[in-house]
Structure 1
Amino acid sequence: MKIRPAKHIYTRAGRFLFAAMLVLLPIATVLTDKISAFDYVRLPNRSLTIGDTTPAATTSYVFSWQYPTATTLGSIKLLLCTDPYVLDTCTLTSGDFSAATLTGQSGVTGFSILSQSAGEIILSRAPSGGSNIQSTYSFANIDNPGGLPDVFYVRIWTYPTADATGPPNEISSVATATTEVINITTIVPPILFFCTGLTVDNYCQNVVGNQIDYGDLSSTSTDFATSQFGVATNAVSGYVVTINGNTMTSGNKAITALNAPAAAAVGVGQFGLNLRANTAPPVGQDTTGAGTGVVDANYNNPDQYQFNDGDLVANAATGTLFNTFTSSYIVNVPPDQPAGVYSTTIVYICTASF
């Protein structure tokens, strides 16, 4: 009996499966060899701080990250892209690294710019051991992407070589964004607080009186009285205060004004004032308040009195908080002073220089 060899019978489905296996096996091999970003070590604690997030602004960039290991480090590549996918082709933004300067570094240091273009900076140093510490790299003169505010990314590679070639040590990316500016405007108006009275309080909240009555004058004693004025301003060049008016008169009769600083002298015709605390006679007080106003030199001597129409009596060189000034008036008359009702009107004028 002849035994026939068994026939190889393939169903149509079997042929299909076999063919499919022939096709799929090479594909499986390709997928197994594909490099993924997960195959690389990443840089932890990454950040990018931008000095000005306005679109197209020229500003500072400060990169910071921690090296995960102390492996040999020779170069760093920074790439300005529209997406963070470090192994994909980079689509450059309209930002510009080409004029950037390296202004500072800390942690793992010794880098300088090896090369740069609009979208790329390579930092280089002599390859040497690194350190797993937080490190910072600061740049100036980087142009943000222009146009509408948007998110953009900087991809980061570190290499053991000095020229950013060969397999990298770590790969990562950081995200940041340009933003709309917030414009805030306001107006600070010119401000002047100025008041006069027998007494004034802080910032002229309460002003009392405007009349001084000496009663009967005597040739054997000095009559005295006080009034006050207060000033504060935001004028950049400060202010001046002048005293304006005449000596005391009764018709065509007058009490002599002190045209230069002089002490009070009983029995001599005198009308004058100063802005100090005095002992002869005991009248007045020194300037008070937190401001920087000062008394003019001619009216700043205790027990010395003067009066001239238009004299400067106080000033401040710049804007100042509130000061209260006390004017101390004295009147003396000789025994032969003609009788009469003597009076005067004193006007203080404050001029602020805005």
Structure 2
Amino acid sequence: MRSVRGKLYLLCALLVFASIASVYRAPTANAAQITVRSLQLIGVGTTGGSLAGGTVNHKFAFTIPGGNTVGSIKFEYCTVAQVTACVMPTGLVTTGATYGGETGVTGFSLVNTTNGAPYITRTAAAVGTNVAATYTLNSVVNPTAVNTTFFVRISTYTSTNATGSPLDTGSVAASTANPIVLQGVMPESLVFCTGATVTVDCVTVTNPTINFNQLFSPTDTATATSQMAASTNATTGYSITVNGPTLTSGSNTIPGMTTAAGITRGKSEFGMNLKLNTTATSTVAVGAEVTPTPDGTDLRGQAQTGYNTVDQFKFVTGETVAASNNGGAGPTNAQLYTVSYIVDVAGNQLSGTYTTTLTYICTATY
């Protein structure tokens, strides 16, 4: 009987120990996975977001599984993901970071006292299910190793100081990279062309030999047009002068108009302007305005005094007929000019074929 009683005591003791062990078993973590997560490295000024050692902004985006009360979210920078202990990347600095904004789950402020492990905190509150959120940490100094991937372990906590067991976890990855430096040279530039017709970019230029629209007559005005285009990056822009003699036939001439004036039929005169004229000059309005229209910024080219008034004409060799000085002299994109020529003759103008060769000179000042 004594032996049986001893065995019963031992069995009871084992049952009690097993019961106590079951009651005091250590708790296990059951953190949910943070999903749809990413880290965007955003450049600041001329500093690229992935520049090694660059001071840039880190924008985290992820979906919080939810259903928990969240008081803080920690961002722990590591050289590996969540497999082993965290080793902070060399050169990383988060203690100078500032809070750049938030969406989704909001109301946080940044605590950056521990380098490599900043967290955001708020009064703990419930979070809905699967809430998409973004958080931006400004002025984070990237790790200094080039072409190196680093990881940030994201954890949510009920506590307001990122302590205790995490509620939800997940990792994101980013990498530093060498910047690509592109370099090119813009030389001093002047594009200028003349012809019967030209395109504004001077790609197409037609024959520069031009005939007036009709025979010269003391009762009607003969007209003709030519075109030119110009652009430059010169600091003070360009000026265009007309150079050459008036119309001549042997020793006979048709005088150039030395002052800007309207036409006078029955008087021998040769003139020009850079305007869209009206039927006061000829039956068909001759000429065109400079195009594109000058705006004083990117398009500065315009006709100059003496050549910039509708139905007023002038011709003095060597004078400036156009310049890029609208809004002040300066560089300009390409513009197209149409030059209108007029001829009136007196009844006693001697017959003959009257010609002139005009040279337009475009001078850029850098």
Q: TM-score range by the shorter chain?
A: 0.7 to 0.9
Mapping for residues 1-354 of structure 1, pairs under 5 Å: 39-51=30-42, 52-85=49-82, 88-132=85-129, 133-188=131-186, 191-201=189-199, 203-210=202-209, 212=211, 218=217, 220-233=218-231, 235=233, 239-248=238-247, 255-275=254-274, 276-279=276-279, 280-281=281-282, 282=284, 284-287=286-289, 292=299, 293-296=301-304, 298-316=306-324, 318-321=331-334, 323=336, 325-334=337-346, 343-352=355-364
Distance 1:101 1:335, change over 3 A: same
Q: Which residue identity is paired with 2:102?
A: Q
Query: 2-side partners of 1:210 and 1:192: how far apart?
Result: 24
Distance 1:303 1:108, change over 3 A: same
Q: Which residue identity is paired with 1:178?
A: T
The alignment partner of 1:105 has SS state of: strand
Q: Is the 8 A contact 1:116 1:122 kept in 2?
A: no
Query: 1-side partners of 2:354 and 2:342: how far apart?
Result: 14
Query: Shift in Å at residue 105 of structure 1?
Result: 0.4
Residue 11 of structure 2: aligned partner: none
Q: Is the 8 A contact 2:72 2:119 kept in 1?
A: yes
Query: 2-side partners of 1:74 and 1:214: how far apart?
Result: 87
Query: Shift in Å at residue 66 of structure 1?
Result: 1.0
Unaligned regions of 5+ residues in structure 1, if any? 1-28
TM-score for the superposition, normalised by structure 2: 0.74
List per-residue Cα deviations over 1:202-245 (Å, max 9, x = no partner): 63424213355799855x23552323123143626654322223
Unaligned regions of 5+ residues in structure 2, if any? 1-20, 43-48, 294-298
Query: 2-side partners of 1:95 and 1:65: how far apart?
Result: 22
Report how many aligned residue pairs link the two structures. 321
Q: Is the 8 A contact 1:96 1:117 kept in 2?
A: no
Query: 1-side partners of 2:317 and 2:126: how far apart?
Result: 84
Query: Shift in Å at residue 168 of structure 1?
Result: 2.1
Query: 1-side partners of 2:271 and 2:224: how far apart?
Result: 12
TM-score for the superposition, normalised by structure 1: 0.76
Distance 1:160 1:308, change over 3 A: same
Distance 1:216 1:73, change over 3 A: closer
Query: Shift in Å at residue 95 of structure 1?
Result: 1.1
Q: Which residue identity is paired with 2:159?
A: T
Distance 1:89 1:210, change over 3 A: closer
Query: 2-side partners of 1:307 and 1:336: how far apart?
Result: 22
Q: Which residue identity is paired with 1:112?
A: S
Q: Is the 8 A contact 1:235 1:353 kept in 2?
A: no
* Percentage of matched positions with identical amino acids: 30
Query: 2-side partners of 1:45 and 1:236: how far apart?
Result: 53
Query: 1-side partners of 2:247 and 2:108: how far apart?
Result: 83
Query: 1-side partners of 2:104 and 2:82: how far apart?
Result: 26
Based on CA coordinates, which of the two structures has the bigger radius of gyration? 1
Q: Is the 8 A contact 2:155 2:169 kept in 1?
A: yes
Query: Shift in Å at residue 72 of structure 1?
Result: 1.0
Query: 2-side partners of 1:67 and 1:224: how far apart?
Result: 82
Q: Which piece of structure 1 moves more, 39-48 or 304-313? A: 304-313
Query: 1-side partners of 2:234 and 2:132: how far apart?
Result: 47
List per-residue Cα deviations over 1:254-306 (Å, max 9, x = no partner): 64432332111023342211122442224623147657554335323332211
Q: Is the 8 A contact 2:245 2:317 kept in 1?
A: yes
Query: 2-side partners of 1:352 and 1:163: how far apart?
Result: 67
Q: Is the 8 A contact 2:80 2:86 kept in 1?
A: no
For the aligned residue pairs, the C-alpha RMSD in angstroms reads 3.4
Query: Shift in Å at residue 131 of structure 1?
Result: 2.5
